[in-house]
Chains A and B, each alone.
Chain A
Amino acid sequence: MSTIKIKNLYKHFDGIKAVDHLNLSFESGKITGLIGPNGSGKSTLINLLTGVVPFDSGVVIISETTKLLRVKPYDMASFDITRTFQDVRLFEQMPVIDNILVVLTKRGIVGSLFEQHKKYHLEKAKEVLERVGLWEKRNELAADLSYGQRKLLEIARALAMNADIYFFDEPFAGLFPEIIKVVSSILKELRDKGKTVVLVEHNMELIRELSDYCIVMDSGELLAEGKPNDVLSQKAVIEAYLGE
């Protein structure tokens, strides 16, 4: 199973050090909670590791074997890395099922034009949509879904990638208890299957409940790491992040 390790990762925007020579690793078979104050660099880190934004310097090491110095956006998926977005980024004017099918089908131009495995893809799409309870809505446009359903579709899309490393960026934001239960069980299932799960969240109850390990960022740097209860009782963390 894949682990992901970063060494000296650096990214700046207009003079602001979003990620400042960061060293850390995310282990497989664990849910790692990634927390920290607003603007600490959590989403930027995820953007760097999922190819949304290129990093300035540093190294990303995947599964101890693959060393990456420069990453093109579309390449990260080939390293079995996937994610959800904080601001839900669905394909709005496409039906729910197409939002899933598009990440399942063949990637090359010629291959996708003459796609062969339609039945197989439909089965996989059904599987993930049923897991989040959206199969009945499969023909509705993503734009017409309710907020909770949209967040579930984001997650279903990530599941469909059948990746090894998952980054969930505030998946629980704005969700009500029933849906929180569904999402929590999905994360736990992934962990139990040995996947590497990274969870960014501000809901401390969920962090305590779900994470096996916690990493706290502040101003682009590592502030603390360790077991959730240890980390959340550290003075520096309370001051910077939790308040009290």
Chain B
Amino acid sequence: MALGYAVLLIISVSVLFGLLYWNTAVFVAEQTEETIEVEISGLAEHYQKAGLVGLSEVIQERSRGQRLSLYLLTDPNRRPLAGNLNSWPTASMPGDWIDFEYQRPIGSRIVEHRAHARHFVLPGGYNLLVGYDVQDQVRLERRMRGSMIWIGALALFLGLGGGLLMARHWLRRIDNVNKTAREIMDGDMSRRVELSGSDDELDRLARNLNAMLDRIEALMAGLRQVTDNIAHDLRSPLNRLRSRLEVTMMEDPDKGVYRTALVDTMREADELLKTFNALLLIGEAESGLDWSKLESVDLSTQTNDVAELYEPAAEDAGIKLRAEITPDILVRGNPNLISQAIVNLLDNALKYTPSGERVLISVGIDSAGDAYFEIADSGPGIPESEHENVLNRFVRLEGSRSTVGSGLGLSLVAAVAKLHQARLMLKDNKPGLAVRMSFPRLMSA
């Protein structure tokens, strides 16, 4: 990772600097040629006005002193006539641009300089060379090349170093995630991955991990709640059962007494099993949240079947059970659990509705577009102020249950609602109670 980062940095620095170098060199070279062109047009003017002699004089004039412009006028045999160059520097054709080295006196020393020049031929075969000392340009280019090596080295160093630092930074953050994972595996479920606050990919990963951990923790808490409840709901009746057996054995051996005790014990065991099964089912609904395993369920048919199952029992109890069911309403769910929730609610409603009253079971679509089933009785109802409490008791699997029936039954309803992402609502039926479960509606495919 550090190496990759360094290579990338070096490549970008090289490209940047290469462009800069090339542009500068081209610009300076163009400037030089422009200067030479200006000189040439000046000299051409003199030649036209004053001929070869005039031109020669001007050249002699301009050649004095330390100017950077270079001139050489020769006869057709390239013997120098005027100018500040001693001899024709290199073979060339008329019109050529040429580059050459020449000896330039600087103070008392003679130094070799580079020059750029153009070759002209005048009428009569006279040759004219007009040029410019480009030693400064050469030096600039040389310096730029030198800098480039240094900058390259620096980029390599910074790239590697910076890359290493950055890699260490990321590795530290990943290690932070690992550390949290280890702590969680060691049993501290409350640990969460720290966020850096930068909202980058790693932060988002950490946030998702944390959300997942929250979910797992909630499921574990739910499971613990279920086991606690199982312990509570089973311990007391088991204790009762054991005490009965113990006390029976203390008494005088008598076949009749033994038989009664056994019958009672068996009945108690049956109740225990019922409780146990109910708790397991609640546990399944509470923690077995496998949304993908849920199927399309016809809520209308399910509800209708339950109503039909209970209709004779209701009639026997003197209660009028009426069903108002909108057909073909589909929800996503587990048909067995949904049926059981409806059964439990209906069971409860029939239990609390006095003879001669009515119970209405309905299925429909509410104003929000959700599918619902509702069971409304005209029994004693529950005061509005208590609705919240009752719902909480539904949800929290309140431990204080004296009879197996209602408490567990309603807890199961709450668990089923939770599993189906359904809302459970209590309403005053004036008189009586209406319990409604609304599901996200599933449009038929």
Is the A/B pair a real complex?
Answer: no
Chain A positions near chain B (C-beta within 8 angstroms): none
